[in-house]
Structure 1
Amino acid sequence: MICPNCGSWVDEGEPICSSCGASFGDDYEEEYTCPECHRMFMVDEFDTKCPFCGALIEKKDYF
């Protein structure tokens, strides 16, 4: 399968991309840096706001 984060090939069943370190699967989460407060945190497809400042999360196409 193709990593949705960097586009590298990942063997089926692997939970983490060896190229970029992105994790995926049923509980897909991604590291995100808030453009407002610049703090980093993990987001999944259900997160909509920064837990620190409340700014809206800018979703990527694959969410």
Structure 2
Amino acid sequence: MTMSRKHYREAAAVLRSALPPEGKRQPTRTKTVREIADGLAGLFARDNPRFRRTTFIDAVFEDTR
């Protein structure tokens, strides 16, 4: 089954919720979330050739940049 845009958005939201609150530095936690996001992005790209890795990573970290 190919995942849909809705699935990718939900996955990004779950990862985003695992990030430390704004203003609270937790580099190890942020690094872990990034590593998981990178791994999932690779999986999603293999599942769907139209998947955009950078869009997904940006969605995970959109509130923290």
Relative to its length, the structure with more helix (as a share) is 2
Q: TM-score range by the shorter chain?
A: under 0.3
TM, length-normalised to structure 2: 0.26
Q: Which has the larger radius of gyration?
A: 1
Q: Greater relative contact order: 1 or 2 (C-alpha under 8 angstroms, separation 6 or more)?
A: 2
Kindly indicate which of the two structures has a greater share of residues assigned to strand.
1
